Amino acid sequence: MRSFRDDESIHSMQSTQSDSQVSSAPGEKIFVAVRLRPLNEKEKARSDASDWDCINNSTVIYKHGLPEKSLFPSAYRFDRVFASECSTKQVYEEGPKNVALSVVSGINTSIFAYGQTSSGKTYTMRGITEYTMADIFDYIHEHNEREFVVKFSAMEIYNESVRDLLGLDNTPLRLLDDPERGTVVEKLTEVTLRDWSHLKDLLAVCEAERQIGETSLNETSSRSHQIIRLTVESSACEFLGAYNSSILAASVSFVDLAGSERASQTLSVGSRLKEGSHINRSLLTLGTVIRKLSKSRNGHVPFRDSKLTRILQNSLGGNARTAIILMSEKALVKQLQKELARLENDMRSVASVSTSGNSDSLLEEKERIIEKMSLEIKELTKQRDLAQSRIQEMLQSTSDNQVSKTRIAANYLSEAHEKRLWHSENSVSDSPEVTDPPHLNAASNIPYRNDRPLRHDNVNTFPQLPDNSEEIFLSDGSPNKFMDKYFGPDLSHGWGEIAQNNYESSEESFKEVRCVEMENDKDKCSETSSISSPLEGDGGLEHVLSDHTCEALKPKSTDMQATADKSSVCSKPTILSSSLFDTAISGSGDINILKSSSFKEVDTTMSEKSEKDVIPLDECEKGLAKTTKEPMINTSGGTAPIHDFTNENDFVGEKEQNTQTRRDPNSDSHIDGAIENKEVLKPDHEVIYEENTVQDTQKYKYEVMVKIDDGSTNVHSPEGQYPDWKLEFERQRKQIIQLWDACDIPLVHRAYFFLLFQGDQSDSVYMEVEFRRLSFLKQTASRGKSSRALKRERDMLSRQILKKYSTKEREALYRKWGIELKSKQRRKQLSRLLWNDTQDMDHIKESAAVVAKLVGQPSQAPKETFGLSFTP
């Protein structure tokens, strides 16, 4: 209401009002009066006598005296006291009248009646309301230079719920915080008063509607706080309708508080007891608020601690004026005395607790917790910022990437030639050199990289969703952001960085690598070490190469020597970087990366002769150990890399397998044939490498062969095409789908990945990274946590169904998914069905489409966010 007032006019009117009419104590905002009720018939019949006497207009004394040592005084002074013979009219005139009539001057006011049950609050307040209204009507009548509107509303607060006494139903009303008007009661009925009889009718309705109950002290005790509010709006007639006319508005609240008696006094039980506790609590808050308002203008006033004070905040705080009428009868005094004694006791015990050492330690403990939480918040903020900047970088780099990659690859290739990186034509080795293929081994190397932050915690955990994740999920149009935030960094994060780091490292390595003849174990190891030397200081790759690789190689190098004698071998480890891989795919270089199963001879030799270096299956399955073989790539013919996904058990770890060659049923025969027939192969330059590293109990076995083809010879197919990339792609995708299921990968991620990668040849790197990440996750992630996250994601998706599908579409959807149209929780049922059959590609396609529809279009997610980002 205050917001409607013109501030200047308020001030001027206020001062006029204060000078002439307002209370006898100018400046005092709270007026407190006491009214003594006359003895009622019952009390007279019992020959009760009043305990109090008014000795003058402002002092009451306790008639029977108190023991000398009593803490309580026997005389009390108020703004005004009214003896039992005073009429309500007199009480009004000499008491709250001035306060009440401030409303016509634009000042919010409130008048409270406080006292024990049956002390006469309702009786007094009814009279005061009527007298006030009569005076307001008179005032309006006398001031015809202004146009007035008086509105009437009434509510009660019963058990802390607000009810409209003029409303049609009993629905509790909500309190809303309006920036301009403060707390407002939503949907409260407000009636414009017509005349006197209208007012009487409304008061009668309120009386009839109010909650009453029988207590031991009052047969019709009011069990709620009642607030009758009159709002007076006025504007000067001469400005009526003018653009700059201002409306003066204020309200006066007549608050008939519920009985202040204590539960024990009214022998309360059950609902009466509950009422009593609500009443007492809100009265306590009111007391605190009034005390704080009367003491100082500054400091916190706990208006919000109860609905009563919240609703009355405008009528109590600020420039508002208040009159309180304390209703008195003899029981009240005893009650007050007891209350005071109790409060004093409470205060004493609080004081003693606060000085005890126990509270000190509690305080310390709390401070410690706060400090810890602050640190955690800081740390989390840091992590979030870091993640965000990574996303930025990655997206930034995406646009330049293709060009850069091509250029780098071209540079790299020419450099490689110059430095005789590649072996001569007949150097297809039976004894492949072993080294660490950085990008491909990026994931598996993670735990080694003790000089860098470990990434595995980023890739294998799914953080718990916050409670509000749904809103963020729903409000944020970008699925990537959502996934980044709530399901941890996507594969491109962290992995991308590792790939980037490794790319940089490997680029250096390439420069240093020389092709040498492998003479013996020692040489090999020393050569290997020498490769790593340029990386000294990096610590990561160096560590892998010098320590693990050499150690791992020792036992088998004798065997390798034999074959090395027969044929020249590229004894230098060649590091195949992601960028090279990627470039190969993009077709800028004449590279064939030969699938290692082609080199089964090599592999078998290795496996047989160096058994202890080969990871037994059970060990593989226990830890991170993994045997993979690189695919064959022939970019000269525009083919894509093919990953050997043949053995699904390698991913899902269900069955036993040997760590030797896994055959691709589609390609092995072809490749085997190619390998066996070296005449056909005739690679110009070929690099073979294999890595066997031991990482605590987790081991890897890895091999890749790289061939640089002059383009004239195609090792894979005479047509220059890989026989069936599409088929290979489908097989890879199926396995990824199974891994998604095994790792409880978020459905949003699956859907986007599925929809974005449709078999384009350039997708192969992404496929591979996804596969590796999932294999890693499969072995390390905590299933329980991620499956809970998945369940929550399904729930969130189910809630989106209503928004994204029309009723008709929904019905069609349910039918399609075999959900009974009349069954319960259809949306949830549907969300549970999504992605639940990893074998059925039609089902997967449908699931991806539904998820994409629920969260937005996949075009919003650039492919790069799923794969590696190579920034030079």
Ligand X SMILES: Nc1ncnc2c1ncn2[C@@H]1O[C@H](COP(=O)(O)OP(=O)(O)OP(=O)(O)O)[C@@H](O)[C@H]1O
CB of 85 to ligand X, least distance (A): 9
Question: SS3 for 613?
Answer: helix
Q: Under the criterion CB under 6 A, does residue 95 sit at the interface with ligand X?
A: no
- The answer to whether 95 is annotated as binding is no
Of 121-129, 523-531, 537-545, 690-698, which segment contacts ligand X by CB under 6 A?
121-129
Q: What is the DSSP string of 732-800?
A: HHHHHHHHHHHHT--HHHHHHHHHH-SS-GGGHHHHHHHHHHHHHHHHHS-HHHHHHHHHHHHHHHHHH
Task: Determine the Cα angle at 861 with ends 858 and 867, to 5°.
Answer: 120
**Was 106 annotated as part of a binding site?**
no
- The structure tokens listed for 201 are 């009718």
Q: Which residue number, 154 or 535, has a Cβ lying nearer to ligand X?
A: 154
Residue 38 or 477 with smaller CB distance to ligand X: 38
* 122 marked among binding-site residues: yes
The size of the interface with ligand X (CB under 6 A), counted in residues, is 16
Alpha helices by DSSP H, listed for 491-645, are: 492-512, 521-532, 540-542, 550-553, 557-566, 578-586, 600-609, 617-622
DSSP characters for 16-63?
HHHHHTS-SSTT--EEEEEEEPPP-HHHHHTT---SEEEEETTEEEET
> Would the annotation count 115 as a binding residue?
yes
The smaller minimum CB distance to ligand X, of residues 39 and 395, is found at 39
Instruction: Tell me which of 109, 221, 314, 335 binds ligand X, using CB under 6 A.
Output: 221
Binding segment (CB under 6 A) for ligand X, from list 6-14, 215-223, 332-340, 740-748: 215-223
* Ramachandran area for residue 711 (φ above 0: left; ψ -120 to 50: alpha; else beta): left
String of contacts with ligand X for each residue 252-281, x by CB under 6 A:
-------x----------------------
Is residue 782 part of the contact set for ligand X (CB under 6 A)?
A: no
Q: Is 315 annotated as a binding residue?
A: no
Q: What is the dihedral of CA 532, 535, 540, 546, to 10 degrees?
A: 20
Q: How far apart are CA 242 and CA 126, in angstroms?
A: 39
Residue in 102, 117, 226, 786 binding ligand X, rule: CB under 6 A:
117
User: Is 120 labeled as ligand-binding?
Assistant: yes
Q: Does 93 bind ligand X (CB under 6 A)?
A: no
Q: Is 827 in the site for ligand X (CB under 6 A)?
A: no
Indicate whether 405 belongs to the interface with ligand X (CB under 6 A).
no
Contact between 109 and ligand X by CB under 6 A: the answer reads: no
**40 scored as a contact of ligand X (CB under 6 A):** yes
Per CB under 6 A, does 37 bind ligand X?
yes
Length of the chain: 872
* Sign of the alpha-carbon dihedral angle for 343, 347, 353, 356: negative
Candidates 35-43, 574-582, 734-742, 793-801: pick the segment binding ligand X (CB under 6 A): 35-43
Residue 85 is classified by DSSP as T
CB nearer to ligand X: give 117 or 461: 117
Do the Cβ atoms of 132 and 102 come closer than 8 Å?
Answer: no
Measured CA to CA in angstroms, residue 487 lies from 257, 374, 379, 460, 465 at distances of 53, 24, 18, 10, 8
Which residue lies nearer to ligand X by CB, 23 or 222?
Answer: 222
Cα separation, 95 vs 101, whole angstroms: 11
**526 alpha carbon, distance to own chain's centre:** 53
- Please choose, from the candidates 128, 381, 120, 157, the residue with its C-alpha nearest in 3D space to the C-alpha of residue 252: 128
Please select the residue that binds ligand X; options are 108, 118, 577, 597, rule is CB under 6 A: 118
Site string for ligand X, 308-327 (x = CB under 6 A): -------------------x
Beta partners for 828? none
Site for ligand X in 605-664 (CB under 6 A): none
Among the residue ranges 63-71, 120-128, 429-437, 765-773, the one whose residues contact ligand X (CB under 6 A): 120-128
Among 98, 119, 129, 779, binds ligand X (CB under 6 A): 119
Answer yes or no whether residue 123 interacts with ligand X by CB under 6 A: yes
Does position 122 interact with ligand X (CB under 6 A)? The reply is yes
Residues making up the binding site for ATP: 115-122
Binding site for ligand X (CB under 6 A): 37-38, 40, 115, 117-123, 218, 221-222, 259, 327
